[in-house]
A and B are shown apart, each in its own frame.
Chain A
């Protein structure tokens, strides 16, 4: 399965999804007007990945800003990862949710996802 790489832009994040290592990273800003178009290839990649995932999947979400339209698409991404989690067991998927020091809104956003999903989150504070 091919690695998915998307270069970041002022309104969209950098994405790196490596099936071999099981490392998935989304970082930067996600504030496009049409987030469905942007997240489509990511969700499709995860559909394929979920059929034969790596033994361990590490997901790093390092978002500085995201708009509400993206927030729904990010939930879709997590729901695909939930399938991987169900398949590969408790230690199979780790979601690292990074937030900058004092960014309580970003921490709360991570906690919102955590409460909706049955998948463990690790909240990691980044020092400025």
Chain B
């Protein structure tokens, strides 16, 4: 059965939403979203520590979406366009926020991503710190300009508080859903 993105997006939008988006992702959009998030968190008088944590997680998560979302082939683009992504940032309760995103990735890349997340997910803070330093110092940049540190950084800042699903959606693509919990 095809995963119903519309219904899922409706579901994740329930609650105290701070920012959301469903559509194409661009560099300009990331700049705009980050500014909205920052201003709204200040308006809401959230404490500096959690504000910074959310901002840092959003920077990495949105730039990951921008760099790693796979385009759908033109004939299956329907109403979603190229580099289609969805994300929501909302407050769950006092000092607890969630960031939930969904994007297409090629089925051929699922195993790599799944292995990478699973590798990170069960590491302790000390192990994450070691891995972070190892990747930081490896002098490698991907062809997309990333350093391979985004997920490790998110895990380090959030205490590994994330879950994910890959949903069958199109012939060659899966819809990848990621939920990150951010606490003080």
Interface residues of A (CB under 8 A from B): 10-11, 31, 33-36, 65, 67-69, 71-72, 75, 100, 102-103, 105, 108, 112, 115-116, 128
Contact = CB atoms under 8 A, between A and B. Distances in A.
Interface string B142-172: 0001110110110001000000000000000
Interface residues of B, number: 31
Given A31-B63, A33-B63, A65-B55, 18 more contacts: A10-B31, A35-B145, A65-B52, A65-B59, A68-B149, A68-B150, A68-B152, A68-B153, A69-B145, A69-B147, A71-B136, A72-B136, A72-B149, A102-B48, A102-B49, A105-B157, A112-B132, A112-B136
Interface in B8-24: none
A116 B27 CA distance: 32
Interface of B is mostly: helix
B35 A10 contact: yes
Nearest to A35: B145
Interface of B: 27, 30-31, 34-35, 48-49, 52-53, 55-56, 59-60, 63, 66-67, 129, 132-133, 136-137, 139, 141, 145-147, 149-150, 152-153, 157
